[in-house]
Amino acid sequence: MESFWENTIVLTAARYSVAVLSIIVFMAIFELVTSYKNWEEIRRGNLSVAMATGGKMFGVANVLRFSYEHNDGILQSIMWSSIGFVLLLIGYFIFEFLTPTYKIDTEIANDNRAVGFISLVISVGLSYVIGASI
């Protein structure tokens, strides 16, 4: 059975499956913590929500990449990427906390593209910092 998991195709398929599932789960959690409905807003053409959501997706995928790169087993990678996701989520709340004069969620829902872009950059930037720590 050990040789089965050492097969490059099997390992790639397993990591790909974990990545897709992780992005779905993590995006569902982000959907719960934002005051707007990501996919509804994106369908309406809200570019700010699309940028913020894309940044979160990239951030999760990037943390997974680092996790795969620095850990041998799938379970160990899942554990570290979950920790990374929690840190990304904390970063989201810190961003909201550091702007007390307005609500980030409201600005993004109102298609404030500057705020949406900053949200994207924060998610991507934090994913590199988190990934380097894994």
pLDDT digits (tens, 9 = 90+) for 51-107: 999 999 999 999 999 999 987 788 888 899 999 999 999 998 998 888 888 899 999
pLDDT of residue 2: 65
Longest CA span, the chain: 57
Instruction: Report the candidate in 27, 65, 46 with the shortest Cα–Cα distance to residue 110.
Output: 46
Rounded Cα–Cα distance for residues 21 and 15 (Å)? 10
Rounded Cα–Cα distance for residues 110 and 9 (Å)? 44
Q: How many percent of the chain have pLDDT more than 90?
A: 69
Q: What is the pTM of this model?
A: 0.86
Rounded Cα–Cα distance for residues 41 and 54 (Å)? 13
DSSP state of 101: T
Q: Are 38 and 92 in contact (CB under 8 A)?
A: no
Rounded Cα–Cα distance for residues 105 and 49 (Å)? 9
